[in-house]
Structure 1
Amino acid sequence: MVEQYKQQQPYLLALDSIIFGFDGESLNVLLVKRGLEKETWSLMGGWLQPNESLEQAAARILFELTDLTNVYLEQLHTFGDPHRDPIVRTVSVAYFALVKVADYTSKLSETFQARWFSLYDLPPLLFDHADMVSLAIKHLRYKASQHPIGFELLPEKFTIPQLKKLYDAIYNTEFDKRNFSRKILSTNLLIKLDEKQKGFSKRGAYFYQVDMAKYQQLTHSFLNFIPNPDTLF
């Protein structure tokens, strides 16, 4: 048995995170500049340590790179093409994360020129990272159509128009205002506040916040926010 282990080739195991953030107008991905090639950018990532599970390593790497904890983090897919990394055989387990842009303060801005890019205007990406982003947005669209995870990208209080802009950005389309508002409010996930957003219209729009008790109950429930999302693309 031991001899069988000795005969196997060792490989590196990386963890890469597609970190999504919403700035109020567009859906963005957090990238860092890499020196391997000119003007090449990559997802944020790191290596699995001997004493860690995959989930522990993904959370640690995300914290080291963003200073954020308690972030929505979900395993996406394992990328194992033997030629994906030309330097050494590396298997990568990809995760996607949803963060509030206002909460993020980068320790890497100067060292690695970390910055947000619009999902729909990304620069050239390292290795197979473009494939990772493509798969991540497909998965995010599915999850956001069925589950209330989109709220992870919003500030604590928000208006219905702001929420609609988020879903417009996720799906790269524009939903009907009345139908969207009716559908979202029918979930009973939102608490209406006695405060309005000022400066954008004469009447102003009321702020809402998520009912966290209901959110925790319904995170894994199928709410069907966006019917048949695959038909949009």
Structure 2
Amino acid sequence: MFETSEPYDPTAYPPVAVTVDLVLMTVLNGQLRVLLQRRDQEPFAGRLALPGSFVGPDEDLDAATHRVLAQKVGLSGAWLEQLYSFGDPARDPRMRIVSISYFALLPADRLKAAVTGRNDLRLVPVDVYETPLAFDHDAIVDLARARLQGKLAYTPVALALLPDQFTLRDLQEVHEAILATRLNKPAFRRRMLDSGWIEGTGEKETAGAFRPAELFRQTHCDRSQAKAAGPQMRTSD
């Protein structure tokens, strides 16, 4: 019987490290924005980058991502999804480093509170941030945005960017910010009401520049399905 694999030679393979990078997005003032952090160390000191960290030897990927969210941003409870792995050998000048990227969504008020008083954190419109970002983070942000746009058609992912109660106007503004285009109001509202993702609360907004509109919430059934959907739609602890 022939041996089909070569014996493992550890000297033939240089060490490889694994990091997690977090694309944390929100909609603020009608714009899709991403949270970036100013690096204070080389490589790329002074450059904006996604919050991230090396993964510990006994740490799984999800745990490392929750740690980044808590330690670097001071938050928990975000909508969280694994995005993609980035492994270009030249992506980091220090050594061969593979990044497992995640993207997360939070309502604007929570992210604004996290950024307040922090000189290193910035909520930047996805089309206006300084380029290039550190490492290959431009490509990671672009992929996260494309993934988010694609998911709008078949998941209630946009609801993760809204408070517990919201108007149909709020929901349309979030969709328009993600897609960077205006949507037909009657058609959008009809599709949302027929989706089964939202339900009326019987209440109306109490303040605002518009005539008081009905408040909606995510349906109880859909919230249960979201929690059971595993890595495709998972809420961090």
2:69 alignment partner AA:
L
Q: Could you tell me the TM-score, scaled by structure 2's length?
A: 0.83
Indicate the SS of the match to 1:198. coil
Give the root-mean-square deviation of aligned CA atoms: 2.3
> Which residues of structure 1 form unaligned runs of 5+?
221-233
* Matched pairs, number: 218
Distance 1:212 1:23, change over 3 A: farther
Q: Which residue of 2 aligns with 1:29?
A: 34
Higher mean C-alpha deviation, range 14-23 or range 65-74: 65-74
Deviations 1:57-103 (A, max 9, x none): 11221121223223211111111111111222211111111112222
2:207 alignment partner AA:
K
Take 1:106 and 1:134, find their aligned partners in 2: how far apart are those partners? 23
Structure 2 contact 21–53 (Cα < 8 Å) conserved? yes
1:185 alignment partner AA:
L
Indicate the SS of the match to 2:195. coil
1:199 alignment partner AA:
G
Match for residue 185 of structure 2 among 167, 177, 180: 177
Q: Deviation of residue 52 (structure 1)? A: 1.2
Matches within 5 A, 1:136-155: 136-155=144-163
Q: Deviation of residue 190 (structure 1)? A: 1.9
Identity of aligned residues (%): 28
Q: Deviation of residue 39 (structure 1)? A: 5.5
Distance 1:38 1:91, change over 3 A: closer
Q: Could you tell me the TM-score, scaled by structure 1's length?
A: 0.84
Match for residue 105 of structure 2 among 94, 98, 120: 98
Matches within 5 A, 1:192-207: 192-193=200-201, 194-201=203-210, 203-207=211-215
1:22 alignment partner AA:
V
Matches within 5 A, 1:10-159: 10-35=15-40, 36=42, 37=44, 40-104=47-111, 105-106=113-114, 109-110=117-118, 113-124=120-131, 125-159=133-167
Higher mean C-alpha deviation, range 34-43 or range 166-175: 34-43
> Which residues of structure 2 form unaligned runs of 5+?
1-5, 230-237
Indicate the SS of the match to 1:32. strand
Indicate the SS of the match to 2:208. coil
2:126 alignment partner AA:
L
Take 1:199 and 1:109, find their aligned partners in 2: how far apart are those partners? 28
